[in-house]
Structure formats: structure tokens, C-alpha cells
Structure 1
Amino acid sequence: MLITFKSRADGDVIMFGNVGRQMLAILGKDPQDAKGIVTQEQLPAAIAALRTAIEQDKTDNPPPPEADNWGRDAVDQQVQREREQNVSFARRAAPLLTMLEYARRDNTHVTWES
């Protein structure tokens, strides 16, 4: 299942269901709703909540330390592969945060549907 966020202020943001539902919960919306709206009045609180969740995730899940190029062993190579494959919460949330900020700037709303 996919969840599509829409706003006249930005292009659509499409997320897999589990990630989209997580975002909706952070925004204070019922993740089980098939569609809904973040109104202009709700945007400041939604933006603040998403920013807080991003910062908390960065604190809880710091990136692994950088491996130097000298004598990389199998462990260093594995850490590098994991770093390259991992998509952080902050990266997943960034397009939605941008959409919310643009919607606030343009005095419009954000809708979603699944």
C-alpha cells in the first residue's frame, strides 16, 4: 500500500504504507484513515512535530563512524555497506517536511490518501 501526500504548493510525496502511517501519527493524524487533511491552521504544529521527530531520530540513531581508507578489513567494509543501504528517518521525512513548509508559505493545505 502507498500513501500519497498532495498540496498545491509542491509535487506529490509518495511513501510506502508503513512509513506514511508513521508520518501521519507524528503529524497527529489517525494513520488508519484512508484520506485526510492537514489544514493551514494545523501546519505549524505538524511541522514542529516532524522536526522534533527528525532530531530525536538523529539523536537515537547516530550514523556509524567513518572508516578510514587504510587497511579496511571486512568489518569496515560491512559498516560501509550498511551505511550505504540504510535510509534514515530524516531522509524519509525530508520531502514531507518540505511540502508542509511550502504549504504554510503558500497558505494552503496538505491532503493524503491511500
Structure 2
Amino acid sequence: MPYKFKSRATADLIMLDATARRLLDILGKDTTGHGIITVEQIPGAIAALEQAVQREEEQRAAAKETQDADEDAQRDEAPAGAWDPVSLRQRTAPFLDMLKRSAAQGREVTW
């Protein structure tokens, strides 16, 4: 089931279930039904998402440094893009934009 995020400051944002649940989990929000991120909660939500992005990028960098030769050989044989999953930074970008624009206009985000 896709999630539809709404704000009076932006157009609706539709996300697939797994991505939306991951972002809402990062924010500590309930993923079982409708919810709201109030204007007062938006700065904390932005900070939490940015910290999660930073942690993931640090983990990816550490993992890249510790790959062994066998994994490098498998990567060479894999189809293009098979080892480049979509990063959290890419997945959060539209949601962060919605949060920032909503905060600037004093509007909450609901789903």
C-alpha cells in the first residue's frame, strides 16, 4: 500500500510502502495508520532524517573500504547497477523538501 503524504505547502508526495515505513520509523512515527508531523515537530524530523542519512553514508564508506577481492570479482561479473542500491539520501530527498517547505509556510504534514 503506498503512502500519500500531504501538506498545504506542497503537492502530495506518494511513496511505496517500504520506503515510507522506513522514514516514519526513523522519525518514531506509527506506521499502522494515518498520522501527522506538526509544525513544531518538523525541525526534529529533518534533523533525524539527516542524521540517518549521514550514518548510512558512513556505513557505506566503511563497507566499501573493507570489501575483499572476492566481492570485487562478483561486482565485475554482476549486471550494471546490481551493486548500487538507492541510497537513503536519494529516498529522503523529496520528503525532506516537503518538510522544509512545510516548515517555511507553517504547515503540518499528514499521511
* TM-score, normalised via structure 2 length: 0.79
Q: Which has more strand, going by share of residues?
A: 1
How far is the alpha carbon of 1:78 from its aligned partner?
2.9
Give identity over the alignment, percent: 39
Task: Work out the CA distance in 2 between the residues paired with 1:101 and 1:81.
Answer: 31
Write the mapping of 1:1-114 to structure 2, written as runs, cut at 5 A.
Answer: 1-32=1-32, 34-62=33-61, 75-76=75-76, 78=78, 80-83=80-83, 86-112=85-111
Runs of 4+ that moved beyond 4 A: none
User: Between Structure 1 and Structure 2, how many residues are aligned?
Assistant: 103
* TM-score, normalised via structure 1 length: 0.77
How far is the alpha carbon of 1:64 from its aligned partner?
5.9
Partners of 2:38 and 2:107 within 8 A in 1: yes
Specify every segment of 5 or more residues in structure 2 that has no aligned partner in the other structure, as ranges.
Answer: 66-72
Specify every segment of 5 or more residues in structure 1 that has no aligned partner in the other structure, as ranges.
Answer: 66-72
The two structures, once aligned, show a CA RMSD in angstroms of 2.3
Shift of the 77–98 alpha-carbon distance from structure 1 to 2, 3 Å rule, reads farther
What per-residue deviation string (whole Å, max 9, x for no partner) do you get for residues 54-103 of structure 1?
111111124969xxxxxxx984363743256x211111111101100111
